[in-house]
Amino acid sequence: MNVESDGDLLREFTNESQEHLQNIEQGVLVLEENPTDKDTLNSIFRAFHTFKGGSGLLNLMPMNRTAHELENLLDLARQNKLQITSDIINVILEGGDVLKQFIDEMNDQLTGRKPAGPIFVSTRDLLTRVRAAVTGGPVPVAAPVASAATSAPAAEGSAAAAAPAAASSEKPAAGAASAGGSKAASTGGAVVKVDTLKLDSLVDLVGEMVIAQSMVQLDPEIARLSSQNLNRNLAQLGRITKELQRIAMSMRMVPIRPTFQKMNRLVRDVSAKQGKQVELILNGEDTELDRTIVEEISDPLVHMIRNGVDHGIEVPETRIKAGKPAHGTIRLSAYHQGGNIVIQIKDDGAGLRKDKILKKAYEKGILREGEVPPDKEIFDLIFAPGFSTADKITDISGRGVGMDVVKRNIEKLRGKVEIESTVGQGSVFSIYLPLTLAIIDGLMISVGNERFILPTLSVRESFRPTREMISTVHERGEMVNVRGRLYPLLRLYEAFKIKPQTESPEEGIVIVVEAGQDVRCILVDQLLGKQEVVIKSLGETFKANPAVAGAAILGDGRVGLILDVNTLVRIRQMNTAAALAKVAA
């Protein structure tokens, strides 16, 4: 087929295939628990059959042959000529992995992440195992599945698929796939697929409409023309605009179900490798988030779930000695809290040992010897780069690489993560995320004649300080005493080089913000209240100032800069270091 002209067909095929493969994986995990479940077996068979038909139609023969072999295997099981064993389950899962490699490679080329060309994925080992399973013979041990593009000709063990040549910036839509092939809940209406770029443009335009409507309401010229009819029409316009915004934003929302369900396979594989018995319980799978957040939160969740199995859950012998059931439990939940989404990972494992964390912090120089901060700050130390309390390094974890990346990725989504833990009882990791990245709940502040917006998720409290609360500490700079704890002070007017209304802290307002385990105080002139604002990109203009995350047009038509709290924290650290270096010189 001509892939140049059939790029749209290939994109549709890859999107649908991702849903089929997700259904297959969830169905196989259900079948593993109940090998006699004919409904699940039939749904897996149908998914492979559909995949085979689509790949054959597009002349993607390596995928077609692989799906056909797996379909034959499942057909024997449907006819009761083959018993579902752990070897059969593993072979089907490996088959899904190989097909997913084909789809991932094709997606990379369709989206321009890789140049167009033939796709080579090793299938020899898989097909050998499938054929052994079909004949009822011993199934060879699986070799690691490789995925690499190569210019070598396709040998028997490598399947070359026709690759798309046309590049596109469109990302695959996140689908709400159903587990185990069960039917997804239907809203009773038809579904229309919309280009994500068009959807983003619609959301941006609706945001502009909200701003324009707010400016009309606050316009003094309009106020002078006030009449009962005008006020009624303006109120009606406001209601319609808000409802339009709500609907437009809901079009960006997708369920977190597909992301959650991927964790079933992860827990199964990691626990089996470590000789542990772990049950994953999912709650709130229908909770909806902005599709960008759903895409970006997957990797942090994978790392945290893997850590929960590796570090949190004990081996059966240890659990039984501690009076626990042999199998451990990890609960992955999502729910609404205020205007945010909370994703919670809770295990009944060993818990975090504060003594081991503190010992490692002393060794690495993160804390002064003998310093014992509050529990929250101790637990937050595990997010420090290179920090690990593991006694041995494995291929799963132990090098201290990962949790700092987890925190950084969550903060990129304007979120935060909190930890609670009790030794012997387990740990709870709570991730707080905004519902959408297009709108933000912000705290409006002013410095001089400028307006700024702080994300409320990062704000802990605000107050007018007294003279006694401000002090200068050697090697730490200006500090604020908040209920016995000293926090560094950042004067916002210095960071942006603007003239404030006052330089005296006791005449201004101090806002306590947190970024991960770091807490800082920011001095501003005034608090102007809270407001929900639509985020606008500033393009190249403000790239030189990383402390600015974006901008918002306020109700009075003025522009407010949205501050990046994490960068502000780093600015305070750099300013202190620079001052110390100057003194030393």
Structural domain boundaries of the chain? Answer: 7-163, 196-251, 254-434, 439-584
What's the mean pLDDT in 545-560? Answer: 79
458 DSSP assignment: G
pLDDT (0 to 100) of residue 276: 94
Judged against a pLDDT cut of 70, whether residue 395 lies above it is answered with: no
Identify the H or E element spanning 214.
helix 196-218
The CA distance from 519 to 486, in Å, is 10
What's the mean pLDDT in 456-479? Answer: 89
| CATH classification (class only), 196-251 | mainly alpha
The CA distance from 144 to 474, in Å, is 56
Contact by Cβ (8 Å): 446, 430 = no
Of 187, 161, 168, 166, nearest in space to 176 by CA: 187
Contact by Cβ (8 Å): 445, 524 = yes
The residue ranges of DSSP E strands in 404-525, in sequence order, are 416-422, 426-434, 439-447, 450-455, 459-463, 470-473, 477-482, 485-491, 509-515, 518-524
Confidence of residue 183 (pLDDT cuts 50, 70, 90): very low
Contact by Cβ (8 Å): 217, 226 = no
| Interstrand relation of 450-455 and 459-463 (parallel, antiparallel or unpaired) | unpaired
7-163 belongs to which homologous superfamily? HPT domain (1.20.120.160)
Rg of the chain's alpha carbons, rounded to an integer? 28
| Interstrand relation of 450-455 and 559-563 (parallel, antiparallel or unpaired) | parallel
Judged against a pLDDT cut of 80, whether residue 202 lies above it is answered with: yes
Q: In what side-by-side order are the strands of the sheet with 459-463?
A: 459-463, 509-515, 518-524, 485-491, 477-482, 470-473
Identify the H or E element spanning 391.
none
pLDDT (0 to 100) of residue 393: 56
Contact by Cβ (8 Å): 60, 161 = yes
The CA distance from 184 to 79, in Å, is 27
Of 248, 205, 296, nearest in space to 536 by CA: 205
Of 199, 192, 148, 147, nearest in space to 170 by CA: 199
Q: What six digits make up the tokens of 3? A: 């892939």
In tens, the pLDDT along 210-237 reads 778 877 877 778 878 778 888 888 889 8
What's the length of the chain? 585
Judged against a pLDDT cut of 60, whether residue 478 lies above it is answered with: yes
In tens, the pLDDT along 17-55 reads 888 898 899 899 999 989 989 999 999 999 999 888 888
Of 198, 342, 295, 290, nearest in space to 535 by CA: 290
| DSSP alpha helix (H) spans, 79-160 | 86-110, 124-135
| CATH classification (class only), 254-434 | alpha beta
Identify the weakest region by mean pLDDT among 206-210, 355-359, 394-398, 548-552: 394-398
The CA distance from 576 to 478, in Å, is 9
Q: What six digits make up the tokens of 395? A: 């291929």
439-584 belongs to which homologous superfamily? CheA-289, Domain 4 (2.40.50.180)
In tens, the pLDDT along 399-445 reads 445 788 888 889 888 888 999 999 999 999 999 998 877 778 889 99
**Average pLDDT of every residue of the chain:** 80
